[in-house]
Structure 1
């Protein structure tokens, strides 16, 4: 899966960063962000995976 975040997609990148801030490993290996929403999901959850892919794609694009 290829994700490209362009400079005009600053809102997308900000959303990904905010998601990573809340969807982090919590006690017992569960995703803290999902747990706060009433879901029991192992970390990294699908939302954190998407956010990490967006952030990594932007970092890779910036390195080129």
Structure 2
């Protein structure tokens, strides 16, 4: 969890994400990403959105980092 936690803290320190409990946010984000991947693997017949889009939403909703414009 070290790299994930460090990345969340860097986002918070840089003002890219709201300040908060970085450990809890990191755990929530890891749980969301792991869950999404697990569900895609275990229920491949469902029409899943692209994982990249899901991760962008997780970052926005759980961390407060807006999606990159591109």
Give the TM-score band, short-chain normalised.
Answer: 0.3 to 0.5
Work out which structure has the larger RCO, using CA pairs closer than 8 Å and 6 or more positions apart in sequence. 1
Q: TM-score, normalised by structure 2?
A: 0.36
Q: TM-score, normalised by structure 1?
A: 0.38
